[in-house]
Structure 1
Amino acid sequence: MDTLKTNTVGSLPSFAAKKFQNHTALYFQGKRWTYKDFLNEVDQVARGLIAIGVNPGDKVALWMVNRPEWLFTMYAVAKIGAVLVPLNTRYRTMDVSYTVKNSDSVVWIFQAKSGPVDYFDMVRDNLNKAKDKTDISQNFPKLRKIVVFGAKPDLGMLSWDDMIHRGKKITETTLMIRSDSVNPKDTFIIAYTSGTTGNPKGVMHKHNLIKMTLDRISRLGMKKTDINITSLPLFHLYAYGEAIACLLTGSCQVLTETFNAAENLDLIQEEKATIIHGFDTHYKDMLDEQERKPRDISSLRFGTFPSGAPSSIEIAYRTQKELVQTVSGWGMTETWTFATVSSPNDTIEQRCEASGRPMPGVKIKIIDPNTGISKPRGEQGELIVQSYMNMQGYYNNEVETNKTIGRDGWLRTGDTAIYRDDGHVRFLGRFKDMLKVGGENVSPLEVEAFLLKIPSISQIAIVGVPDERLNEVPAAFVVSDIEQTVTLKEIKSYCQDVIASYKIPRYLFYLDSLPMTPTGKVQKHKLRQKALDSLS
């Protein structure tokens, strides 16, 4: 690759248009964009954002499934020096309200509807809590504009087309001045991740992900002729990072709205895709679908598949045999994705039973979580990371930031891992009580706090139990009111369309009291064992 002459995310489309010009940048539902086309779309959105009053440093919340407009907005926000706040499309009324408020977003762009999910209704539900439904500041003090994509706007909102039309008055000079003034040390994204403290936390990152992405491109041998399937949600940094890699290499990105195993395999065959991405859940679905209806997948070169945890190893080995060679890796929102990654030249054991080697500039330690003392190679402990890619901190949350990043710059991940003698890290799970449901982080405390609003529940504890497809799912242990017992059906009904579906408990167990430590903490390890015993 030629020396990169850009160091901000927003300048990447201009770089790619100049270097790759008429090469296909994007394919989506039968339509193609060259790199020149892609830049034009980005600039239209950037002008629109300037026209509706987005200033440098302003937060722009984006609630949309994978679409070209997501990508155009992603780069446009960065190009004008604003900060993107990607919203999980599995959020529901309460989740999305908290995130938009907590991030101090001044503009909220959302897709009206996707399949059966009516996002417009959920936005209206939040606005209806205000006395004056056209005065969004009553419920969202910092919010100035709401932009709806795919529907006629309500009074006080703008449509996507309105925003683009207003942007036509913004000159090329104005856009260039805004782009040139962006500082690569500034925050460009706040990505929300659930935490053990309950509510999601906003992870701030600056533009230095470009260097890490270039290093990963080099390690994996990614190139201009590659065709990437992007079916993971762009609101997660995993897919976001792969989108960046496509622009840096000049490769083609084949985008899907959501993950669907059959659609992925059809697109691999039709578009001659070379690279795919996913967690064990996605690969299992593709393996089963390919077995049901074989496609020609001979064009595939490799896939990325974060492995190492006991639940993923069997699927990883099966993937090598039946689908494609994969590389493993580890990362988290706070460290950026693929802080560690393996190489296509590594052994099959290293790519299936480990989680990669640290990237250049990333230091790894395994410590005793109680004493902080380093563990020898091969011994299990808590994974901590020192890296130029570590987050700037949690937005508006100095207390949690200081708990996570020490004065020496080492970041406590809360993950259990082993640093092997061969230099590969192996991710094993979490020390913290966080659940990982199909790749989504779920905070038990957040779900517990929400369900405690049900009058018949006096105490509750959420734990994870194994699930063949999703790795783990939530199970609720409830101490009910003496006169009334809540049912699982009632819990699901209470949660429906209010919190994300992956947070809703799948199992319900009743107890007279929760097992507690002498200091008053719930002994969740005992609850997990009780759940396992009951389900077996």
Structure 2
Amino acid sequence: MTFTEWSEVCPLADLLVRSATRYPDRNALVMPNFALTYAELRDASVEIARGIIGMGLRPRSHVGILANNSREMVTALFGAALANCVAVPLNARHKSRELGYIIENADLALILTTAADTRFVDFREVLSTALPTLGASPHGEPLSLAEAPQLRGIVVLEGDAPAGFLSRTAFAQAAQSVPASAVDMARRATRLRDTALIIYTSGTTANPKGCLLSHEAVTRGPVERASSRFRASDHDVTWGGGPLFHIGSFAPFIGTIGTGGTYVTDVFFDAGRALDLMEREQVTVAWPWFPAILQPLLDHPAFDAKRLATLRKVLLIAPPALVDRAQRTFPDAEFMQACGMTETAGIFALCAPDETPEQRTISQGKPVPGIEVKIIALDSGEEAAPDAVGEILVRGYCVMDGYHRSPEKTAEALDGEGWLHTGDLYARGADGQLTFHGRAKDMLKVGGENVAAIEVEAYICSHPAVKLAEVVGRPDPRLDEVPVAFVELRPGHTATEQELIDFCQGRIASYKVPRAVFFMNDGEWPMSATKVDKRALRTRL
């Protein structure tokens, strides 16, 4: 046998340095109203790194990044990496309650945010609400907040800085004392198994959990696949429709940067804008990922497959009928389904090159090179027979190192042999094909976002009229599923469906807000041996 493939793994910041050296004038990032070349992205990121070091942050300090897809988002990300710090991308859809928990739990020393575009949300207002004592902080001094003891500053990279925040000018002044050579020294001290990112994901707990992802985990697979399996041309132009704080978009972005490609995206997803941008930039690779993005593209009045004639590779997870429709619409493009999650830094299984179009409509492929999976029976824990449904376990370089500050949850997820217990149900056929069969965990997947039912339940139960709440997923043609709530009120209290929905609006992320509320009386709940039978609740929808 002749070996023809090998790994070239490097830390996150080195990917940018390498591509900026090879392709300084090539566009690294393109959005509707601007583009950044590799040299521009490198130089701007170095300035961010100088500011981080100038503010006194030590190597491997935790830097939060609260921004939508933007110049500030990507330069903050690589700036943290260049400074040998841990980047913590914060979900821009989170409300102050969720952010307040993550800021403290993640031990953030610094937050980088922006007010360049406040059409949808003003992050300054959200952070001020999340951190109640922020506005009273002395001007020009490091923060000292009871609610976030590790936090020393919040920098507004673009826009005005209100009380408690640091302006871009002040941040730049801090950078003046740090030579570029200090950044280079910090970058070169980064180790592959150091933590590169902490990405928070909802689980079967009331609060999100921070996945500790190493430099190897976040760079090795995305770059290998971008340079081989996803390669469509010498210079690929890759479109991603999702937010970069989500692993489903972050991973292809890193793969693009690592291979010197061009990544095309937008501040938000709008099907018409996306089609215009993809056509203008002559996209060769696309990551629509979920039906919530793919279906609006195909259904848009201005859609015409000829506008995307350069498209050759498409990554998605969708129902068979939608995959079949997409394949027939773009017969010259290869469509690939995949398995992935935040805890595995993205993809751990993928359609193989020799799979038929029919197989691609129903299967999520096979494990990628270097990654092991096994499926265990839910009752015995033993390895399941072919075609039997069980929990899928994953082991390999892409698996997280654990959950930040949660040894109990880490022990539940990672066993002594290094297997990640995903809580997802799969079957593996005799040919090795993996097929998804839902979630064993009490989780919902709303348009690609993980939603822990217990998190929504806990918030609804904070309403003074609510005695008990149970949240389940209702099938939805666009978002896969959406949350609905079954609620029992306290004796002597009243509340309407709309009142409870309004109670959630603006206080938890919009995708977590129940779309409907059904009221139950004491004694009406369908019960298993010890708890409410949610499968029985779903049959009532």
- Normalising by the residue count of structure 2, what TM-score does the alignment of the two structures yield? 0.93
Residues 157, 368 of structure 1: alpha-carbon distance in 2 compared, 3 angstrom cutoff = same
Q: For residue 372 of structure 1, what is the amino acid of its counterpart? A: G
Residues 27, 2 of structure 1: alpha-carbon distance in 2 compared, 3 angstrom cutoff = farther
SS of equivalent to 1:318 = helix
Q: Which runs of 5+ in 2 are unaligned?
A: none
Partner residue of 1:303 out of 273, 293, 314: 314
In the alignment, which residue of structure 1 is the partner of 2:161?
A: 153
Counterpart Cα distance in 2 of 1:133 and 1:166: 19
Q: Aligned pair 1:509/2:518, yes or no?
A: yes
In the alignment, which residue of structure 2 is the partner of 1:122?
A: 126
Q: CA deviation at 1:302?
A: 1.6
Q: Aligned pair 1:27/2:30, yes or no?
A: yes
Q: For residue 404 of structure 1, what is the amino acid of its counterpart? A: A
SS of equivalent to 1:509 = strand
Which range moved further: 451-460 or 47-56? 47-56
Q: CA deviation at 1:223?
A: 4.4
Q: For residue 440 of structure 2, what is the amino acid of its counterpart? A: F
Partner residue of 1:360 out of 362, 365, 369: 369
In the alignment, which residue of structure 2 is the partner of 1:57?
A: 60
Q: CA deviation at 1:131?
A: 9.1
In the alignment, which residue of structure 1 is the partner of 2:107?
A: 104
Partner residue of 1:245 out of 232, 247, 255: 255
Partner residue of 2:170 out of 158, 162, 166: 162
In the alignment, which residue of structure 2 is the partner of 1:144?
A: 152
Counterpart Cα distance in 1 of 2:130 and 2:437: 39
Residues 381, 453 of structure 1: alpha-carbon distance in 2 compared, 3 angstrom cutoff = same
Q: CA deviation at 1:21?
A: 2.5
Which range moved further: 46-55 or 340-349? 340-349
Residues 338, 406 of structure 1: alpha-carbon distance in 2 compared, 3 angstrom cutoff = same
Q: Aligned pair 1:372/2:376, yes or no?
A: no
Q: CA deviation at 1:6?
A: 5.8
Asked if the contact 2:374–2:394 (Cα under 8 Å) also holds between the matched residues in 1, the reply is yes
Which range moved further: 370-379 or 5-14? 5-14
In the alignment, which residue of structure 2 is the partner of 1:212?
A: 221
Q: How does 1:129-528 map to 2 (within 5 A)?
A: 132-134=136-138, 136-209=144-217, 210-217=219-226, 218-278=228-288, 279-289=290-300, 296-307=307-318, 312-323=319-330, 324-513=333-522, 514-519=525-530, 521-528=531-538
SS of equivalent to 2:200 = strand
Residues 361, 104 of structure 1: alpha-carbon distance in 2 compared, 3 angstrom cutoff = same
Per-residue CA deviations over 1:423-463 (Å, capped at 9, x if unaligned) read 22112210111000110111111111111111111111001
In the alignment, which residue of structure 2 is the partner of 1:78?
A: 81
Asked if the contact 2:497–2:518 (Cα under 8 Å) also holds between the matched residues in 1, the reply is no
Counterpart Cα distance in 1 of 2:285 and 2:89: 24
Counterpart Cα distance in 1 of 2:449 and 2:86: 23
Residues 131, 211 of structure 1: alpha-carbon distance in 2 compared, 3 angstrom cutoff = closer
Counterpart Cα distance in 2 of 1:127 and 1:136: 11
Cα RMSD (Å): 2.0
Q: CA deviation at 1:125?
A: 1.4
Counterpart Cα distance in 1 of 2:407 and 2:119: 39
SS of equivalent to 1:219 = coil
Q: Which runs of 5+ in 1 are unaligned?
A: 532-536
Asked if the contact 1:334–1:390 (Cα under 8 Å) also holds between the matched residues in 2, the reply is yes
Counterpart Cα distance in 1 of 2:5 and 2:180: 27
Asked if the contact 1:127–1:133 (Cα under 8 Å) also holds between the matched residues in 2, the reply is no
Asked if the contact 2:224–2:255 (Cα under 8 Å) also holds between the matched residues in 1, the reply is no
Counterpart Cα distance in 2 of 1:338 and 1:221: 16
Q: For residue 311 of structure 2, what is the amino acid of its counterpart? A: L
Asked if the contact 2:45–2:79 (Cα under 8 Å) also holds between the matched residues in 1, the reply is yes
Asked if the contact 1:329–1:339 (Cα under 8 Å) also holds between the matched residues in 2, the reply is yes
Number of positions where the alignment pairs a residue of Structure 1 with one of Structure 2: 526
SS of equivalent to 1:463 = strand
Q: For residue 88 of structure 1, what is the amino acid of its counterpart? A: N
SS of equivalent to 1:50 = helix
Q: Aligned pair 1:68/2:71, yes or no?
A: yes
Asked if the contact 2:135–2:164 (Cα under 8 Å) also holds between the matched residues in 1, the reply is no
Q: CA deviation at 1:165?
A: 4.3
Asked if the contact 2:428–2:435 (Cα under 8 Å) also holds between the matched residues in 1, the reply is yes
Q: For residue 296 of structure 2, what is the amino acid of its counterpart? A: D
Asked if the contact 1:223–1:250 (Cα under 8 Å) also holds between the matched residues in 2, the reply is no
Residues 294, 317 of structure 1: alpha-carbon distance in 2 compared, 3 angstrom cutoff = closer
SS of equivalent to 2:163 = coil
Asked if the contact 2:376–2:382 (Cα under 8 Å) also holds between the matched residues in 1, the reply is yes
Counterpart Cα distance in 2 of 1:291 and 1:403: 48
- Normalising by the residue count of structure 1, what TM-score does the alignment of the two structures yield? 0.94
Per-residue CA deviations over 1:495-530 (Å, capped at 9, x if unaligned) read 1221101111001111113323233x2211111111
Q: CA deviation at 1:4?
A: 7.6
Q: For residue 87 of structure 1, what is the amino acid of its counterpart? A: L
Q: For residue 504 of structure 2, what is the amino acid of its counterpart? A: C
Per-residue CA deviations over 1:198-228 (Å, capped at 9, x if unaligned) read 2100000111132222332322335442111
Residues 47, 224 of structure 1: alpha-carbon distance in 2 compared, 3 angstrom cutoff = farther
Per-residue CA deviations over 1:288-318 (Å, capped at 9, x if unaligned) read 01566776111111211024xxxx2211111
Q: CA deviation at 1:243?
A: 1.2
Counterpart Cα distance in 1 of 2:86 and 2:22: 26
Asked if the contact 2:63–2:86 (Cα under 8 Å) also holds between the matched residues in 1, the reply is yes
Residues 522, 314 of structure 1: alpha-carbon distance in 2 compared, 3 angstrom cutoff = same
Residues 275, 165 of structure 1: alpha-carbon distance in 2 compared, 3 angstrom cutoff = farther
Residues 187, 470 of structure 1: alpha-carbon distance in 2 compared, 3 angstrom cutoff = same
Counterpart Cα distance in 1 of 2:275 and 2:108: 38
Which range moved further: 146-155 or 327-336? 146-155
Counterpart Cα distance in 2 of 1:344 and 1:275: 16
Q: For residue 247 of structure 2, what is the amino acid of its counterpart? A: L
Asked if the contact 2:100–2:131 (Cα under 8 Å) also holds between the matched residues in 1, the reply is no
SS of equivalent to 1:114 = coil
Partner residue of 1:7 out of 7, 10, 21: 10
Q: For residue 326 of structure 2, what is the amino acid of its counterpart? A: T
